[in-house]
Structure 1
């Protein structure tokens, strides 16, 4: 597996009482990842984006923003131990070949004891990020404005990962934050045919805890749960720096609350934040939301209870 050396982490605050992620995240090798509750893995790639590109710069921006986020949550206290394994070296080539290369790396990462937290990168890498978990009964909770279950025609794209996972044996799927008028009828029907759950952004707005319960109910029969956050699930005012920003999305508060509820499930086996595109951002708004999504998820994560 080829991983670039992880960056040094530094908390930017001059107050010694301000413990920030930059003070606690430790660079580590994959062989030592088991010493941590969770490990960050960057995926600087946007070669499969259907819309606007820029997500290859996402991992660096998410790290920079996360370094200045304080580690304390009022209900759960500080986060657990977090390592950084660096970025996967992603080769040039067609998207299918890239997915296979990335899958070789993620297979090894999942084999460790730490929770993998993938920093995207575009949504096409959801497939190789989650696919190694298909060896057991797997469900995916996808926080996304779109269902991303397009047919694979001339090759995979950022719109095909859940079609690919279903065709590889995915057992359960729930999309949280789906927007009206952003998905074709054919794809909505496809998800229904797979017995998937669609929780609209309006439903999340009516009650984030209930939305999380609906998503987790859809995972009732699986042994492992993979959680994906495509930052376009947020309203365009909160996340302008994504490939396809649109109105009508979640607020950051709704996303964070729902994420914490999902993260507390003991079956969680992987997490990702994708489609952060800094060149398309405004005042670092999207990277700030993505970094705090990571912080909230880690603060809610309880680990394997078995």
Structure 2
């Protein structure tokens, strides 16, 4: 990856997730010395601070199948504009979260500048629900669907256009907890999903070779959306929706190292770090370690 200057954006989003605490994720990642590491790797880094996000206690939950819809839409519009401004300045947008509903804004902001955006979704979940299929009504489980143009019109049309990405340019890696509606949508749209079964069976190296081939084929940029619950809870305990049997610390590093070698990533976000349920900021430290690999850190 070339040394394009990096702009850090904090997104203390705590509205799309049913478990409190992810609003402190950006601070936890900063505390784990993200900026220092990136500078040691030779990057020029600016941190423009956190966007303002209302707390759940200060607003009405609204429709229980689309909780905090209006507030999430407004904040994601703001994030999309901020990310777009970073890209316009020819800088790399790096967003710290925050629950995964924020990806609606991140992807929208990036997609304004890429006609055919590739997307790597590193996650235990597919986040392909809608208000009709979601068991919880939490919008963090709908963010990929929204980016694909599926869901409530207020979310789908953030940024003034839809869809932001197309199914043939999307790869989900690490999935192991899918709802029935998500399975149907995956089949309907033909989205490529590498489940933990696939990773166990063919290995992370082959998974990443195939994933990189898919997201870089006839695309003009690639966004990495990395949910820390993609890792096994033993390695990343501070996440709101942990699922046993996830990717190991080393498998995840290999994935990030291969992305760095391919030099395809043009924007990234690291989400769902919850320091309240973490152990000594372990999950934020893992996020920063993986970040280092994405930006070219090597053993030798």
Superposition TM-score tier, normalisation by shorter sequence: 0.7 to 0.9
Counterpart CA distance in 1 for 2:139 and 2:193 is 21
Counterpart CA distance in 2 for 1:131 and 1:300 is 28
Structure 1, unaligned runs of 5 or more = 1-34, 302-306
TM alignment of 1:44-193, pairs within 5 A: 44-49=12-17, 51-66=18-33, 78-91=41-54, 94-135=71-112, 136-152=115-131, 157-167=139-149, 168-169=162-163, 170-171=165-166, 172-179=169-176, 182-193=177-188
Counterpart CA distance in 2 for 1:95 and 1:42 is 15
Residue 143 of structure 1 and its aligned partner are, at CA, apart by 0.4
- Deviations, residues 163-207 of structure 1 (Å, cap 9, x unaligned): 11100221221111111xx10233123123222111112433442
Counterpart CA distance in 1 for 2:281 and 2:208 is 28
TM alignment of 1:263-282, pairs within 5 A: 263-282=260-279
Length, aligned pairs only: 260
Kept in 2: contact 1:259–1:293 (CA 8 A):
yes
Kept in 2: contact 1:223–1:267 (CA 8 A):
no
Kept in 2: contact 1:45–1:90 (CA 8 A):
yes
2:8 pairs with 1:40: yes
> When the two structures are superposed, what TM-score results if normalisation uses the length of structure 2?
0.79
For 2:191, which of 196, 200, 209 is the aligned residue? 196
Residue 87 of structure 1 and its aligned partner are, at CA, apart by 1.6
Q: Which has the higher helix share?
A: 2
Tell me: CA distance 1:121–1:188, structure 2 relative to 1, closer, same or farther (3 Å): same
Structure 2, unaligned runs of 5 or more = 60-70, 150-161
> When the two structures are superposed, what TM-score results if normalisation uses the length of structure 1?
0.77
Counterpart CA distance in 1 for 2:35 and 2:77 is 34
2:284 pairs with 1:291: no
Kept in 2: contact 1:256–1:293 (CA 8 A):
yes
User: How large is the Cα RMSD of the aligned pairs?
Assistant: 2.5
